């Protein structure tokens, strides 16, 4: 891990992460929420019947984007 700018670090030190997203049960939901808020407004429209399906219409063509967040 590379420390943020302004933080000095000796090569043998370890950085502790204050808030981690990985390993939490809410991680897939958080990733989906972040992705959907970024893509919906400027590019795609979310479908009402399927929240993981995004559609963009360009002239007579359509682009379908289906997002699946896998949690193991």
d(CA 25, CA 7): 31
Give the span between the Cα atoms of 13 and 11, in whole angstroms.
Answer: 6
Tens of pLDDT, residue by residue over 17-58, are 565 555 666 777 777 888 888 888 778 888 888 888 899 988
pLDDT at 22: 59
- Which two tokens mark 54? 């995004």
| 3-class DSSP state of 37 | helix
In the predicted structure, residue 72 carries a pLDDT above the cut 60: no
**pTM surpassing 0.75?**
no
**Tokens describing residue 21:** 């997203």
């Amino acid at each position: 891990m590379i420390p943020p700018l302004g933080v000095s670090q000796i090569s043998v030190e370890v950085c502790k992460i204050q808030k981690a997203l990985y390993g939490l049960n809410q991680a897939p939901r958080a990733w989906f929420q972040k992705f959907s808020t970024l893509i919906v407004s400027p590019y795609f429209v979310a479908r009402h019947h399927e929240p993981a399906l995004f559609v963009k219409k360009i002239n007579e063509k359509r682009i379908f984007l289906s997002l699946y967040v896998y949690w193991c």
